[in-house]
Structure 1
Amino acid sequence: MVACYRCIECNEEAQELHRDYSHGIIKITICKSCQKPVDKYVEYDPVIILIDAILCKVQAYRHIILNTKINIHWKLCIFCLLCEAYLRWSQLQDSQQIVDPTDIIRYAKEWDFYQMFGLASLELAAFLSGTFFFLWLTNKDFIQKKSNCNTLLIALLLSGYGKLLVIPAVIWEHDYSPLYIGLIKFFVLASNAQAVRVVLNSSRRFALSVIFVGWMVEQVTACIFEQLKLTL
């Protein structure tokens, strides 16, 4: 039987997470390498898993990325981009003029929001491109397998969930600070690094290097579009 799971403690391959016996009896599989449960989170409440993921525990990331089949990564990505675009758009509007927040029709006609959404999407694409390009330079054996690329892409999109933290800033209207936004960005990058570390089974230093390169490409792309905007 082909192993399709990973031990969340030592990352060794496993054929199953648990075994179902008769009368509803379920036994958690023990890892042959570390002698610990392959995935203790299979019997945990989702809230506990989410808390451990927020704390960036590598075990929780292995459970989510390697041992579960989550198909909401694209929906989550679009929603995060919408939140980020709205935040940028609100900052742009606030710097230009005061707009009545009850004027829904005016909001719907604001093309600047769609521009912010497009810019956020391009920056995300630049980040992903920089990340994959750096891996292509440093780890071609990994990047040449399509399944590995798909897993890494899903992991990076899912680990961007921290962008949802801008929702409180939207709810509080414009009562937020650059420090709050900076902390959100730092958390997202740390989460991305943890996802890369899990998928590649690499060191923390290498994962941080991968994310740093992707972030630099993203920043360069943002600067280029900012310069183009000023010249037009």
Structure 2
Amino acid sequence: MRYICTSCTSPTSSLYKVYSTPGSIQLTTCKGCGNDVDPYIEREWLLVVMDCVLHRPEAFRHALYNREPFATICAQDVQQQSSNVDDCNKFDGLRQLLRYSFIAALIRTYLWHAATTGEENESGQHSTKLLVVLFQSLVGENIMAVATIVSASIIVKKSIKGRNSDSSRAAHKTKTECNDVSSAFFHSRIYLAVTVPSFFHLVTIFAIIWENSTTVCLLGTLFVLSLQRIGVATVVDEQLRREMDTKTVLTQDVSLRLKQSIPLVVGIAVRALCTHIASNFIGNDSLKCIGIPLQQSSFGSFCIS
């Protein structure tokens, strides 16, 4: 089952039926909740983006699981899992993920450039710093994504181990014989949930053009982090429902809601630490923080961007 229901995350093989009349379709009805599988399929990207800005999990499920171009990255088909592990096209999926990561790094670099435009910098030094910021953003984005993926995988495994009985785990093992494809699909969703919200730094760039201040950078960073949090939480929730084979709304469990936020917190902490160490190593402490500056300590100042 390649797609999911945006309401209850139940797997489905199709989103709509196409009739002979051009442009005439009928949305598939979910067998789990009885609602349309994905009402967003009839909406334009702008409306989907607006609902993502409003932090609606249904919009994130649609974008990450059912909508092009993200849905085709490491897309899985349960009927083919046991026959061919290479259906995921891991290398092709990795290339697409790195492309989105590079776009996010470019946006962050231009944000730094826009925030430091009014400062007096020699052209040569500023160009060198621009390349350093681009490399730092690209590496930092991938470090954060990998750390989030690792911590999310650990949390999912521990949650399944704590809630499933031995007989349920045995049935689950038989149900998912090909773990490579399932893991690649889950990891790619987490990667997208961390990387794609960084595109919303464009809003911060437009705001900086109007008013270049640390408050604008702070609010923009908090906004992107909130989108990343709900994106990661949505993917973890869907994976838990899939692995546990349950329709229970797991996000209503307070402990699970807290656990869903841990992977992103770990990813942010690892990226901030690595960025801080790299900045001290190459001697670029003068780079302006365009995110959330933390209190200066004996180890220097930290910045969450």
TM over 0.5: yes
Q: 1:195-206 alignment to 2 at 5 Å?
A: 195-201=231-237, 203=251, 204-206=257-259
Q: Secondary structure at the match of 2:17?
A: strand
Deviating more after overlay: 177-186 vs 146-155 = 146-155
Q: Secondary structure at the match of 2:21?
A: helix
Between the aligned partners of 1:153 and 1:79, the Cα distance in structure 2 is: 14
Between the aligned partners of 1:33 and 1:84, the Cα distance in structure 2 is: 41
- The answer (yes or no) to whether the contact 2:146–2:191 under 8 Å persists in 1 is no
**1:137 matched to 2:154:** yes
Residues 8-31 of structure 1: CA deviation (Å, up to 9, x unaligned): 011111121111122243211111
For residue 222 of structure 1, what is the amino acid of its counterpart?
A: T
Counting matched residue pairs gives: 221
Q: Which residue number corresponds to residue 218 of structure 1?
A: 271
Between the aligned partners of 1:230 and 1:107, the Cα distance in structure 2 is: 17
Q: Which residue number corresponds to residue 103 of structure 1?
A: none
- The answer (yes or no) to whether the contact 2:97–2:188 under 8 Å persists in 1 is no
Q: Secondary structure at the match of 1:167?
A: helix
Q: 1:82-93 alignment to 2 at 5 Å?
A: 82-89=106-113, 91=115
**1:115 matched to 2:132:** yes
Shift of 1:140: 4.5
- The answer (yes or no) to whether the contact 1:83–1:166 under 8 Å persists in 2 is no
Between the aligned partners of 2:185 and 2:121, the Cα distance in structure 1 is: 49
Alignment gaps of 5+ in structure 1:
100-105
Say what the alpha-carbon RMSD is for the aligned residues: 2.9
Residues 55-94 of structure 1: CA deviation (Å, up to 9, x unaligned): 1110111111011231576544323322322333455565
Q: Which residue number corresponds to residue 178 of structure 1?
A: 214
Q: 1:1-232 alignment to 2 at 5 Å?
A: 3-24=1-22, 25-70=24-69, 74-89=98-113, 91=115, 94-95=118-119, 97=120, 106=123, 110-140=127-157, 145-169=183-207, 171-172=209-210, 175-201=211-237, 203=251, 204-230=257-283
Change (3 A) 1:94 1:131: same
Between the aligned partners of 1:230 and 1:80, the Cα distance in structure 2 is: 24
Shift of 1:38: 0.5
Deviating more after overlay: 151-160 vs 134-143 = 134-143
Percent of counterpart pairs with the same letter?
Answer: 20
Between the aligned partners of 2:114 and 2:41, the Cα distance in structure 1 is: 41
Shift of 1:152: 2.2
Change (3 A) 1:138 1:193: same
Between the aligned partners of 2:57 and 2:284, the Cα distance in structure 1 is: 45
For residue 66 of structure 1, what is the amino acid of its counterpart?
A: Y
* TM-score relative to the length of structure 1: 0.82
Between the aligned partners of 2:121 and 2:284, the Cα distance in structure 1 is: 26
Shift of 1:118: 1.1
Change (3 A) 1:18 1:57: same
Alignment gaps of 5+ in structure 2:
71-95, 161-178, 241-250, 252-256, 286-305
